[in-house]
Structure 1
Amino acid sequence: MAVLKVIELLANSPKSWEDATQNAVKHAAKTVRNIRSVNVKNMSAIVGENGSISEYRLNVKITFEVAEA
């Protein structure tokens, strides 16, 4: 049995929601080890003046292993 911890992050990308998710995981991996999963909780986007999406935003929960029990 493993002991897991969950943190919540906000992430964004000008490209896509997938890229925003990757950005969140890359940022978390700078200080967190043993990341097990990412759960996309909420997705939104900013629409620019020309009617196209200018920024993709999301909330994610990242689960990582703290210790083996």
Structure 2
Amino acid sequence: MAESVYKVIELIGTSKDSWEKAAKGAVERAGESLRDLRVAEIVKLDMQLDEEGKVETYRAKLKVSFKFEG
């Protein structure tokens, strides 16, 4: 079997509802233009707050790997 090489990129997904939706949205969007996605690792979760200190946006930072071709 030939050896494989994988590339890792960072993505940041956002959602008004949850970290889960932010992460899922980032992976699904990446899947529209990248082939053979393998692993998504959540690196950091944070939130943007409004002037009143309420949650405005959930953000999920991910590392995503896919098989490197070429």
TM range, smaller chain: 0.7 to 0.9
Aligned to 1:41: 43
CA distance in 1, matches of 2:39, 2:17: 22
Higher strand share: 1
Q: Which amino acid in structure 2 is aligned with residue 38 of structure 1?
A: A
TM-score (norm 2): 0.81
CA distance in 1, matches of 2:35, 2:54: 37
CA distance in 2, matches of 1:37, 1:24: 13
- Deviation (angstroms), 1:64: 0.8
Moved over 2 A (4+): 47-52
Q: Which amino acid in structure 2 is aligned with residue 27 of structure 1?
A: R
Root-mean-square deviation (CA, aligned residues, Å) is: 1.5
Which digits, 9 at most, give the CA deviation of each residue in 1:1-39, with x for residues without a partner?
A: 321110111111101101000111011111101101101
Gaps in structure 2 of 5+ consecutive residues = none
Gaps in structure 1 of 5+ consecutive residues = none
TM-score (norm 1): 0.82
